[in-house]
Amino acid sequence: MKNFFKIIKYNLLRKKGLFYPRLADDFYTNHQNKLRGSTEEIKKRQSVYLKYIKDIPRPLKDKYYFLDIGFGRGEFIDLLKEQKLKNIEGVDINRDYVLKAKQKGYTVFREDALKHLYLLDKKYYGISAFHLIEHLDFHQLFDLILICSKKLVKGGVLILETPNVENIKVGSSTFYLDYTHKLKLPSLLLKTLLEYLGFNKIEFLYLHPNEHGAQNLGVVAYK
């Protein structure tokens, strides 16, 4: 009888994994620490985006919020805090990341980003998402960019970064080092989507080159 109930439990759990759900957050934290690069290196890379935030008028930055979606280890929040900016928030679904950010005194939420934006009655002067959009299905990406467009104030900025799949090595190999990746997003597709959803000034940054070209694609889009 004991084995009978064990078999039933196995059949119920096998699609999501018997052991994976309990260890998923811890493994992903370990995965990022090994493969993403050090916190210092990521902060150095992300600092290229600070000039776009500095250009946002001060009254907007004083009145509204900045949200970093999928903040991970918190490198970009660190950079924004170092700039003495107000109203900086983050949202992530990883328990470990949220706990560590709260221990640093940051205002962060453990929640699905789309749900977070949809339910809260807030406006933002800036929203960022580094290496997040390639983890979504297309309908989720569409909804996320649409809600970002609705929540950004006039003159606000959306900052995205994703693997540059136009780089042959990235598109054929390193993209798959992160087992949670789903979408390959060429710049033309992103430009078409962003324009359709209300962004009128879009700039692409081709970043972190190897022998095949830029490994990452930065996107800066204004409302």
User: Residue 17 — left, alpha, or beta (φ > 0 → left; ψ -120 to 50 → alpha)?
Assistant: left
The whole model's pTM is what? 0.87
Query: What is the rounded distance in angstroms from the CA atom of residue 206 to the CA atom of residue 218?
Result: 6
The DSSP symbol for 165 reads: T
- Say what the pLDDT of residue 56 is: 96
Backbone Cα Rg of the chain: 19
Our measurement of the distance from residue 74's CA atom to the centroid of its chain's CA atoms, rounded to an integer in Å, reads 11
Q: Cite the DSSP H helix spans in the chain.
A: 2-13, 20-35, 39-46, 50-54, 58-63, 75-82, 95-103, 113-119, 138-151, 168-172, 187-196
pLDDT at 5 > cutoff 70: no
- Say what the pLDDT of residue 26 is: 82
pLDDT at 126 > cutoff 60: yes
How confident is residue 150, by pLDDT bands cut at 50, 70 and 90? very high
- Say what the pLDDT of residue 10 is: 46
The one-letter amino acid at 76: F
- Say what the pLDDT of residue 173 is: 95
Which stretch of 13-27, 38-52, 167-181, 190-204 has the lowest confidence by average pLDDT? 13-27
Query: What is the rounded distance in angstroms from the CA atom of residue 163 to the CA atom of residue 108?
Result: 25
pLDDT at 135 > cutoff 80: yes
pLDDT at 17 > cutoff 90: no
The percent of residues above 70 in pLDDT, for the chain, comes to 91
All domains of the chain, ordered by start, with CATH? 38-222 (3.40.50.150)
Dihedral (Cα; 32, 37, 38, 44), 10-degree rounding: -130
How confident is residue 43, by pLDDT bands cut at 50, 70 and 90? very high
pLDDT digits (tens, 9 = 90+) for 48-105: 999 999 999 999 999 999 999 999 999 999 999 999 998 999 999 999 899 999 999 9
Query: What is the rounded distance in angstroms from the CA atom of residue 94 to the CA atom of residue 25?
Result: 6
